Structure 1
């Protein structure tokens, strides 16, 4: 009788221990997945864009910054013109710890063969809506002012109606601080 009680107790203890081991393993797996996602996004979180007046206030500039210690490649900015649509501005690579600064006066809007190109500075209303780029691991990302995600997970991207072409190369500026984490 004592042997049967001991066996039942042993089985119950093993069952409880196995359950708690499974719960702990599940929590560890979830934490590892969250850590991997944060590491995967780390470089992408350091890529940004904005436009602002030039230091002397005579023209506007578009800034495309890479605050990470690794280069980003294939960077394209999506410029949205009111009453026109979306245009791509291909920049290419942005080196580590730097930003590319483009004068809006030097950007030409090309809308197709049947329409005359014009300078972005002549457009009534425009803004940089997003940037697309590949991190050093080759992962493609899409960033807007309020979103950062893997490009393949994004649906309903706007149709592109033309391109923005620089008539001069942008200025490459070193960022003041840039450290690996």
Structure 2
């Protein structure tokens, strides 16, 4: 009887140890998952405070807004979007990649469709900068004011305070590589995007 009782006790001990080990492993996995999720939230904490969208303004033009609601600057900012429209009577498809450089903390960029120029001759090789105050060369090389019909795929590409590259559009993704879409020529933005400050109560260090 003693031998049987000892065997039963040993089996019970093994079962208890096995159950305890299983639950310990589950707790460790949960803790690891929570740590990873916390690290991912921290990584995205500033990038999630950047937003971008397009809307009709009071003149029935398109206004594109980029908001930095964080209390740190973002750098090497570019605003990208695709436009279908016309230059005169000619239908064109145009991609815009507008350099806005550094965005200050708690600030806004506003771009207007009135400043969009497009080429009727494709993508001339000489074009190297996509934001300019002097349109004289472009006017003599097939560029004209773009009457938009549709603006799509609006996004902001930027580096956050930790030097990480992000693309903010409808979603938020790592990196910022953008190949010029097939059938689209590169457009020009006349002048500079308008910069303004946001009310301090609209800005935060907390992730929404």
TM-score higher than 0.5 here? yes
Residue 116 of structure 1 corresponds to 142
In structure 2, list runs of 5 or more residues that go unmatched: 85-91, 126-140
1:9 is aligned to 12
Alignment map for 1:35-54 (pairs within 5 Å): 35-54=38-57
Counterparts of residues 1-181 of structure 1 (less than 5 Å): 1=3, 2-54=5-57, 57=59, 60-82=62-84, 83-109=92-118, 112-113=123-124, 115-119=141-145, 122-127=146-151, 129=153, 130-145=155-170, 147-151=171-175, 158=181, 161-165=185-189, 167-176=190-199, 177-181=202-206
**Gapped runs of 5+ residues in structure 1?**
none
Distance 1:123 1:95 in 2: 31
Alpha-carbon RMSD:
2.8
SS at match of 2:148: coil
Contact 1:140/1:150 (CA < 8 Å) preserved in 2? yes
Q: What secondary structure, in the 3-state scheme, does the structure 2 residue paired with 1:68 have?
A: coil
Which has the greater radius of gyration? 2
Whole-Å separation in 1 of the counterparts to 2:98 and 2:25: 51
CA contact (8 A) 2:76 2:102 kept: yes
TM value normalised by structure 1: 0.79
**Distance in 2 between residues matched to 1:94 and 1:131, nearest whole Å:** 11
Quick one: higher RCO (CA 8 Å, sep 6+), 1 or 2? 2
In the alignment of these two chains, the number of paired residues is 175
Is the CA contact 1:101–1:172 (under 8 Å) kept in the aligned structure 2?
Answer: yes
For residues 10 and 18 of structure 1, the distance between their equivalents in structure 2, rounded to whole angstroms, comes to 12
Q: CA deviation at 1:60?
A: 4.3
Instruction: Give how far 1:16 is off.
Output: 0.8
Deviation at 1:59, TM superposition (A): 5.2
Shift of residue 21, structure 1, vs aligned partner = 0.5
What is the TM-score of this pair, normalised by structure 2?
0.70
Specify the alignment match of 2:136 in structure 1: none
How has the CA–CA distance of structure 1 residues 125 and 162 changed in structure 2, closer, same or farther, with 3 Å as cutoff?
A: same
